[in-house]
Structures are given as structure tokens and as C-alpha cells.
């Protein structure tokens, strides 16, 4: 007999993914040996389903947008990337890993300096060389206070200066005024390198140094600088987000067509410079002649197209459809069904600045209304693990002493009463007198159009009624959802946060300085101690001491309940058997550049 949640699944197909950092072995497919003759396509072009259309392809502005970043990395390159199989940094634009040394004396004593050299062969689409000047320009763009890049800029807060070798335009050094636990990862992978001559044709950033832009005391004055503001206006324009002629990088593919709502087509560049080096430099692999992204938000349509063999790669298909197709003999002859551990966790944001939600007892009461065991079983078909905080459970500093908040309506009702919320007028909704006025506990739960997000919200709505909390489900298109969150115009909101198999720097999401429209502290969390912990974690290299800080921070977040942590899902990736492919714990879980057609295809 179906549960209430199972019945709701007939209305909404479960799939929950938002955007916007585990060590495990990647899942490698078994090579195909039999000769398959009835596959729909055999050409060296790859069709990939996106769950939503990118909102833009500016390689710096849109780097944290999940759907944008997947396309951006086909056109633009990082200095290094995380090998999706070995889970270690490997060079892309660099000759080798950077050399690091501690600064022994001078004003930056105790800090570090990293030395880099870009590959001699690396060129932009127009044939001009990729140089240290381009990296410097990228760094200046990130540090420009006139740009809405607070989350990204926070990762680069330790950067103090940059020097280019006067005898070699491909060599440069970046100076940090303090040690930083993920300094190398940020410097080589924080943002793709972009061509200065394309993105700053007027040279508006040329008169600014990295040191000048990195100095915090200069920020106020720089925010009003005419050249920086002019650059920001140009850089954030549609031209540098959608114009095919301007979105050109050093990567293997060039965007040749963008039909809004239909497809984005990327074609392999002729005689791309990286091909000659790819046998020795893994990060330069790019086998497909063409990559086509098709944004399909509707899960029913996505399942139908998948069954018709329209895609080569189908990430995070609805759990129900994924398991159904996995059990289908015909679909098994076409696709590999891969379930790597996924470095993402789902949560419900709580606006702690709202007068109804500022009491942590109210927030904990709401957490008690999430029946997560049922949600994982019914919506995710058991492919998920409950979580207690912002650290992925695969990490060894995940605090397992903290137990997931249990589903308990009686405890929720008790906590609401303790916080002063009771049904004083007998209308079925608890209320409280605030500033002389009776306020009813009526909340909006904002979700994207992702069905599982809506299903989770619906389950919550029904449970909330049991304790006199009235919750309205409000569905927004993703970009509208994002805008509302940036303005803190919400009560509750379903979302997801990603991670990578490196140390966690949680500053960008959890520090009080990130509680701004462009910051990611969307729940308004934080106090003096949590800020202190976030700051200490970034510069603590002793693992034992750092783990203690991680543990204490998780305890504070657990106690304050600024969000309701839900689960870490298991990945679901379908990849056509004509490709020699694998899935990975590294986001997004699939890596088109590394896949080649099987010889038998």
C-alpha cells in the first residue's frame, strides 16, 4: 500500500538538484566487447542532457552556476584540475605543478609564494599566446570590488601580489600574505584563465596592480573608481555572457550555436594546440568532435528522450526512472548505469533574520517536521544518507557525534510552545504577540521547479499542519529563485550545496561577512565564535588542531539550526555504452573530455 509520500510522487517525479567542494574510487565501466549494430547514433559527437539552461557563460561571473560551469569548462581552461579518477591536481595550462616556498622576511613574512609557468604551446582561439598577463588579468577581475563576486573573491583574500618574469612572459609568481590551507587549489582552480585582449579591449584594468586591488584598505575608494566601474559594466554585459564571438578561450571547443531553450552546440577546434600534448598531459584530453548540451528541465520529457536514446550522457535522472530503466533489459544494452558517491548535500535554508524564525527553538521545531527516512526511501529509492551539517559525510572530520534531528511532531509542538507560539485564537494556526501585534505562524517554502525539491516541501507542508504551522509551497524558476535568495526575500527555501575532495573552506558560505546580496550566507547565520573558527580553519595546517575547529563549528551550526540539513544523495549517471567512460565523485560526476568512442563502435 502506498504511503502519503508515495502518492505525492504520482504528481511530482523526484529529482532534486540545485547548484553553485570524498575520497572514493571512481566507477569505471566495463569495456564493451560485443559488436553493437543497432545503436541510434555512431558519430563522434556527444549529446548531454542539462537539467536547466545556463543563465550565462561568462567564465568568471557564472563559474558557480552548475549548468553554466559545465559548458564553460569546454571553452576555457584552468591552470590545473582535479583528476576525476586519481582525485589529485593535474596540470592543464601549466608545464608542471607550481613550486611553493615560505616567505622568510619582509612585510609578507610567514606567507607563501607560488611559482608558475604556462605551457609554451598554449594559445587562444585567435592564435595569440596564453601568457602570465592573462592570468594577471583574470586575478584582477576577481579582485575588482565593483564586480558582484564576493563568494569567489573570498577564496582569494590571502593574495597580496603577483609578479611576472621580465624574461619570460609565460612565468609568474603569486604572493600570499598568509598560509592558506587550500591556497594551491584556489590559485590553480578558482577561476578559468580568460584572455585580457578579448575581455578588456580598452585596457581598463591595465593601470591597476594586483597588490593595489588586493589591499583591503583600498576597497572603499576602488569601488567608486570610474575605470573599475566601467570595466564591471562591460564585463557583466550580455556580450560577455552570450556572444559567440567573445566567448573564446584556450580550451578545445568553441561555442558555435546557442538556441535558447533548445541546445548549445560546441565544436572541436581544428588543429587545437592541446592535442599534440594530450598523450603526456592527461588534463588536455578532448576526444569528441562535437558536444551538444540539451537543457531539459521536465523530468517526464527527460525520461522519454532517454528511452528514445537521444542522449549520450544523462546525469541525475529522476530516481524512479533511473531504477526502472536500470531494470530494463533493452536500456541495459544501451546505457551504463553508474552510481558514484556524489559530493553534494541537500538542505532547507531558514531565514534567521525573519521575526518568526529568529528563535533557534522554532528552527529546531521545523527540523523535527522533516521525515527524512521516508524521504530517502520513497523519493530517492534509498540512494542517500542523512547528514547533520555542512561537511560531507565522506570527510574524516565529519562530526558523527551529532545525531540527525529525528522526525518528531510532539517535540516540534513542545519547542514551539516553549518559544511562545500557541493557538490563542483557535483558528488552527499557532501565533505569538510580537511588538504588540498577533503574528500567525504562516511561512512560505520556496523551491525551484525541480520535482523532488517540491516533493520534499510537500511532505514538510503536511507535517507542519500537525503542529499548527501553515506553510505555502512557492515554486520559482531557478534564476528567480536565485534573485529572491540574494535579496533574502524568503522564509524557507530548498537548495543544495556542492563540495570537492579537498579540505573545506566554509568561510564563503558561513561567515557573517558573506551575509550580503552577493554573498552566500543566505540564512543570516553567525556569531563571534563561529566567525573566529571559520577564520582559524583557513590558516591551521596541523590536522589535529584543524579537525577540532571543524568539529566545534559543526556543533555550533547544529545547535543554532540556521538550515535543515537533509541528505547526501548517491549519484545517478547514465552514459551510452558506445563511449569508453567512467563516473566520478568529482562534480558533476561525468567528464566528456576524457571519453572516447569504443573501438567496436
- The pLDDT assigned to 405 comes to 97
Q: Per-residue pLDDT tens for 330-342? A: 999 999 999 988 8
Does the pLDDT at position 259 exceed 90?
A: yes
Domains and CATH numbers, the chain: 22-54+245-341+573-597 (3.40.190.10), 76-227 (3.90.76.10), 344-420+441-569 (3.10.105.10)
Comparing 1 with 379, the larger pLDDT belongs to: 379
**Residue 2: pLDDT above 80?**
no
Taking residues 46-60, report their average pLDDT.
95
pLDDT of residue 507: 93
Report the pLDDT value the prediction gives residue 289, as an integer from 0 to 100. 98
Residues 294-308: what's their mean pLDDT? 94
**Would you place residue 37 in the very low, low, confident or very high pLDDT band (cuts 50, 70, 90)?**
low
| Average confidence (pLDDT) over 431-447 | 96
Cell of 279: 598523450
User: Of 33-47, 139-153, 231-245, 302-316, which gets the smallest average pLDDT?
Assistant: 33-47
Does position 29 have pLDDT exceeding 90, yes or no? no
Record the cell numbers describing residue 242, joined without a space: 552570450
Pick 592 or 497 by higher pLDDT. Answer: 592
pLDDT for 21 beyond 70: no
Is the pLDDT higher at 438 or at 221? 438
Most confident of 7-21, 146-160, 541-555: 541-555
Nine-digit cell string for 348:
532547507
**pLDDT surpassing 50 at residue 537:** yes
Q: Could you report the per-residue pLDDT of 511-534, keeping only the tens digit for each?
A: 999 998 878 899 999 999 999 999
Q: How confident is the model at residue 10 (pLDDT cuts 50, 70, 90)?
A: very low
SS3 509: helix
- Residue 380: the pLDDT is 87
Confidence at 396, pLDDT banded by 50, 70, 90: very high
Residues belonging to the chain: 601
Long-range contact pairs involving 284-288 (C-beta distance under 8 Å, separation at least 24): 284/92, 284/252, 285/593, 285/594, 286/251, 286/252, 286/253, 286/593, 287/44, 287/593, 287/594, 287/595, 287/596, 287/597, 288/44, 288/45, 288/46, 288/592, 288/593, 288/595
Q: How many CA atoms lie within 13 A of 238 on its CB side?
A: 0
**Long-range Cβ contact pairs of 92-97 (< 8 A, separation 24 or more):** 92/281, 92/283, 92/284, 93/118, 93/119, 93/122, 93/130, 93/193, 93/250, 94/118, 94/119, 94/188, 95/119, 95/120
**What pLDDT, on a 0 to 100 scale, did the predictor assign at position 121?**
98
Residue, of 64 and 158, whose pLDDT is higher: 158
Residue 24 scores a pLDDT above 60:
no
Label residue 601 by pLDDT band (50, 70, 90).
Answer: low
- pLDDT for 398: 96
Supply the mean pLDDT for the chain. Answer: 91
pLDDT surpasses 60 at 17: no
**To the nearest 5 percent, what fractions of the chain are helix, strand and coil?**
30, 20, 50
148 pLDDT exceeds 60? yes
Return the percentage of the chain with pLDDT > 90, whole number.
Answer: 77
pLDDT band for position 36 (cuts 50, 70, 90) = low
- Which residues on neighbouring strands pair with residue 576, listed in sequence order? 335
CA distances to 6, 51, 478 from 10, rounded to whole Å, are: 7, 20, 23
Which tens digit of pLDDT belongs to each residue from 340-375? 888 888 999 999 999 999 999 999 999 999 999 999
Amino acid at each position: 500500500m502506498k504511503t502519503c509520500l508515495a502518492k505525492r510522487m504520482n504528481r511530482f517525479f523526484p529529482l532534486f538538484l540545485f547548484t553553485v567542494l570524498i575520497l572514493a574510487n571512481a566507477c569505471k565501466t566495463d569495456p564493451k566487447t560485443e559488436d553493437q549494430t543497432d545503436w541510434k547514433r555512431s558519430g563522434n559527437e556527444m549529446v548531454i542532457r542539462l537539467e536547466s539552461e545556463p543563465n550565462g557563460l561568462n567564465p568568471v561571473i557564472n563559474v558557480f552556476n552548475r549548468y553554466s560551469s559545465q559548458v564553460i569548462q569546454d571553452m576555457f581552461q584552468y591552470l590545473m584540475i582535479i583528476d576525476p579518477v586519481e582525485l589529485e591536481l593535474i596540470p592543464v595550462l601549466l608545464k608542471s605543478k607550481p613550486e611553493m616556498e615560505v616567505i622568510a622576511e619582509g612585510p609578507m613574512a610567514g606567507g607563501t609564494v607560488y611559482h608558475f609557468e604556462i605551457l609554451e604551446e598554449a594559445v587562444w582561439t585567435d592564435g595569440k599566446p596564453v601568457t602570465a598577463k592573462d592570468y594577471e588579468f583574470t586575478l584582477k577581475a576577481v579582485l575588482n570590488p565593483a564586480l558582484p563576486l564576493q563568494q569567489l573573491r573570498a577564496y582569494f583574500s590571502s593574495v597580496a601580489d603577483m609578479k611576472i618574469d621580465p624574461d619570460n612572459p609565460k612565468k609568474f609568481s603569486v604572493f600570499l600574505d598568509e598560509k592558506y590551507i587550500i591556497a594551491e587549489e584556489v590559485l590553480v582552480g578558482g577561476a578559468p584563465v580568460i584572455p585580457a585582449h578579448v575581455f578588456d579591449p580598452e585596457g581598463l584594468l591595465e593601470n591597476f596592480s594586483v597588490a593595489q586591488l588586493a589591499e583591503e584598505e583600498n576597497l572603499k575608494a576602488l569601488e567608486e573608481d570610474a575605470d573599475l566601474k566601467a570595466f564591471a559594466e562591460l564585463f557583466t554585459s550580455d556580450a560577455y555572457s552570450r556572444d559567440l564571438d567573445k566567448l573564446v578561450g584556450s580550451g578545445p571547443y568553441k561555442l558555435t550555436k546557442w538556441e535558447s531553450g533548445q541546445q548549445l552546440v560546441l565544436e572541436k577546434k581544428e588543429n587545437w594546440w592541446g592535442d599534440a600534448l594530450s598523450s603526456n598531459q592527461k588534463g588536455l584530453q578532448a576526444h569528441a568532435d562535437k558536444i551538444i548540451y540539451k537543457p531539459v528541465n521536465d523530468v517526464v520529457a527527460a525520461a522519454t528522450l532517454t528511452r528514445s536514446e537521444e542522449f549520450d550522457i544523462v546525469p541525475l535522472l529522476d530516481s524512479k526512472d533511473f531504477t526502472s530503466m536500470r531494470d530494463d533489459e533493452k536500456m541495459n544494452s544501451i546505457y551504463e548505469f553508474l552510481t558514484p558517491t556524489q559530493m553534494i548535500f541537500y538542505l532547507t535554508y531558514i531565514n534567521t533574520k525573519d521575526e518568526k524564525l529568529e528563535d533557534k527553538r522554532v528552527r529546531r521545531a521545523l527540523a523535527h517536521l522533516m521525515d527524512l527516512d521516508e524521504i530517502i526511501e520513497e523519493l530517492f529509492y534509498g540512494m542517500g544518507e542523512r547528514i547533520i551539517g555542512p561537511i560531507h559525510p565522506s570527510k574524516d572530520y565529519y562530526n558523527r557525534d551529532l545525531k540527525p534531528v529525528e522526525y518528531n511532531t510532539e517535540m516540534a509542538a513542545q519547542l514551539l510552545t516553549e518559544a511562545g507560539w500557541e493557538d490563542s485564537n483557535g483558528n488552527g494556526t499557532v501565533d505569538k504577540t510580537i511588538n504588540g501585534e498577533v503574528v500567525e505562524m504562516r511561512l512560505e517554502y520556496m523551491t525551484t521547479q525541480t520535482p523532488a525539491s517540491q516533493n520534499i516541501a510537500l511532505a514538510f507542508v503536511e507535517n507542519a499542519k500537525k503542529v499548527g504551522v501553515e506553510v505555502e509551497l512557492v515554486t520559482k524558476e531557478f534564476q528567480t529563485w536565485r534573485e529572491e535568495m540574494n535579496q533574502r526575500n524568503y522564509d524557507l527555501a530548498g537548495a543544495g550545496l556542492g563540495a570537492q575532495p579537498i579540505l573545506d573552506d566554509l568561510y564563503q558560505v558561513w561567515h557573517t561577512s558573506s551575509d550580503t546580496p552577493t554573498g552566500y550566507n543566505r540564512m543570516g547565520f553567525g556569531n563571534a565564535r563561529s566567525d573566529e573558527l571559520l577564520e582559524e580553519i583557513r590558516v591551521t595546517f596541523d590536522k589535529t588542531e584543524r579537525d577540532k575547529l571543524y568539529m566545534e563549528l559543526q556543533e555550533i551550526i547544529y545547535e543554532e539550526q540556521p538550515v535543515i540539513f537533509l541528505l547526501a544523495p548517491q549519484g545517478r549517471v547514465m552514459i551510452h555504452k558506445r563511449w569508453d567512460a567512467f563516473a566520478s565523485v568529482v562534480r558533476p560526476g561525468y567528464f566528456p573530455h576524457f571519453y572516447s568512442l569504443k573501438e567496436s563502435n
